Amino acid sequence: MPDSLDQQPIVRTVGRRRERELSLKARGDLLHEGAVFVTEMAKIRSCLRFPQGLYRYKTHEEADAHWQDCLADNIARVSGKRHGG
């Protein structure tokens, strides 16, 4: 059985991230970009609903399954609103 330390790591680049420049002074374009980001995040947060409460899971798989079920319910609900359902 091969030792996992002897294997080469898999390195893959997907997409290209734009590096943010650091600025010591405020700039209008960066302020606008930040405001747009906050606005879009508020839109996403307002349309997603997850049941409130304290949940205890026996396994990570059980927690992941609950998260996926909630996410699927949200996607179905939002899709129904957009397509007249």
Kindly report the number of other CB atoms within 10 A of residue 7's CB atom. 8
**Rounded to an integer, what distance in angstroms lies between the CA atom of residue 32 and that of residue 55?**
39
Global pTM exceeds 0.95: no
**Rounded to an integer, what distance in angstroms lies between the CA atom of residue 79 and that of residue 83?**
6
For 17-53, letters b (16+ CB in 10 Å) and e give eeeeeeeeeeeeeeeeeeeeeeeeeeeeeeeeeeeee
**Rounded to an integer, what distance in angstroms lies between the CA atom of residue 85 and that of residue 77?**
9
pLDDT at 4: 57
In this predicted model, what pLDDT tens digit does every residue of 20-71 receive, in sequence order? 777 788 788 888 988 998 998 888 777 777 788 899 999 999 999 998 998 8
Which comes out higher in pLDDT, residue 4 or 7?
7
pLDDT at 63: 93
